[in-house]
Structure formats: structure tokens, C-alpha cells
Amino acid sequence: MPSAPRITATLGLPGSASTWVFNVARELVIAQHGANAVHSVFSDQVQPVLEDAHAQQRYIVWKLHQPEPNWQSFARQMQAKIILSLRDPRDAMLSLMRRFNYDVAEACGTMRRSLRSIEELAKDGHPVLRYEDRFFERPVTVGAIAGHIGVALGDAERARIFATYETETVRQFGRRLDSLPPERIKTIEGSTRYDAVTQIHGGHIGDQRIGKWREEFDHTQRRTVTALLSPWLQTLGYDAE
């Protein structure tokens, strides 16, 4: 067991296949160290995670979307292994709006808060996975994540992890939440049920289209949202036109 938390963190925009990255990282760390030595969590706050008895003396696999301002300095101090996931934030906004009934302003605010942290950590050299590259459809991504976080596994184990989180398998899992032990089923945003272990919820995967914001936002929304997100669009390599 580690003498202090050893942290693997997955920070991504909502809708950027961030849950896929989290689960692959979680499975990799468990395969290396055993389930009893690993604490996985979704939280944007530092202190509750460190105070959690389950996290004490364990390897932490940590999923975040909008980390509190001091999280970055904490992660640097702890020498956390971090993987970032990105998607055109306007497409990611639509994902939030469909899944959790966010309005445009709420979804845009979420993107801005998440992008601030992602931009800062990308400058530190942490790897960035882009949804548009369909990284979640490529088995080699599992090996790339394993290499980054220092996990050595054989081909068969990496293949098993990839197969567990293939798109259709996750869709089916989301439809079968009732088959899970009751203590694993939680509720978010008032009514959406999800699995507390994998963070997968019913209807987790959408249509996966790229560039749909151009079709589904009206002209005023496209112009307004692009203007509000423009600083990050340009820095992170997305079209701001």
C-alpha cells in the first residue's frame, strides 16, 4: 500500500468520453494493484476526497470536470498522473443540454469553468485526448494510457479492458442499471440514475456526431456561444468561426 495517496486523475469536458477515460484508468490501476488497494471517485473538491476513509492509504483514480481552483496546485504537489479529454465545447454543451436539461447559459458556464482548468494543465504537458480523433474506438489508447500512468499489462488484459467499455457494451450496461446492487445506483441532477462505480448512467452515450452545434444552435446562439468560448477555442485548436 502507498504511504501517501498516489493519484491518477482524468479531467475532461462533459461529453468528451471522459467517463471512458476514467474507467480505463480505473481498470488499469486495479489490474496492477488489486481492487482493495484502489479508491475511485468523481469529485471536483479536494478535501472531501482526502478525508474519505476509503481513500486513506490507497491509490486514487479521480474523475473531474470542474475542479476547484486549488486542485491544480494540489495535483502538482502530489505529482498526479493526469489525462485530459477534450471535445469541441459547443458539441459538449449539447450533450449536457440533452442529458441533464441544462439551458444554453448553464451549459456554456460549465464549459468555461472546465476549459480554464484543462487549458492550464495542458500547458503542463499532460496528454490530451480529443473526441474528434475517436480515441475511445481505438484499442491502442488503452496502452497509451497505461504507459502514461505507469501500468504494465499484457495484451490480453488491455484487450479485456477495451472490450468492457466499447460503445455498444456501455449502452447495454446503461440500460441494465436495475441489475446492479442497489447500493451502486445513485441519482444525479434530480432524476438521472447512474452507477456509482463506473459513473455510467442510462442513456450515457449520445449520437456521437461531430459538429452538430452548427445544425442545432440557431444563428444567434452559434454566434454568442462561439464568442464566449473563443479564447479557449483558439488556444485548444477548435474553429472559432
Residue 3 banded pLDDT, cuts 50, 70, 90: very low
What is the predicted pLDDT for the residue at 53?
83
Ordered by start, the domain boundaries in the chain are 6-236
Residue 188 banded pLDDT, cuts 50, 70, 90: confident
Residues linked to residue 201 through DSSP beta bridges, in sequence order: 194
Q: Which amino acid is at 42?
A: F
| pLDDT tens figures, 55-105 | 888 999 999 999 999 999 999 999 999 999 999 999 999 999 988 889 999
Residue 206 banded pLDDT, cuts 50, 70, 90: confident
**In terms of DSSP H, where are the helices of 78-125?**
89-100, 104-123
Residue 189 contacts residue 100 (beta carbons within 8 Å)? yes
What is the predicted pLDDT for the residue at 1?
47
Spatial separation of the C-alpha atoms in residues 142 and 238, rounded to whole Å: 25
CATH (residue range 6-236): 3.40.50.300
Tell me which residue of 83, 75, 71 sits closest to 22, measured CA to CA.
83
The arithmetic mean of pLDDT across residues 47-52, rounded, is 91
96 backbone dihedrals φ, ψ, rounded to 5°: -60, -45
What is the predicted pLDDT for the residue at 180?
93
82: helix, coil or strand?
A: strand
Among all chains, which residue has been given the C-alpha cell 494540489?
Answer: 74
| pLDDT tens figures, 93-150 | 999 998 888 999 999 999 999 999 999 999 999 999 999 999 999 999 999 999 999 9
What torsion do the CA atoms of 211, 216, 222, 225 make, to the nearest 10 degrees? -80
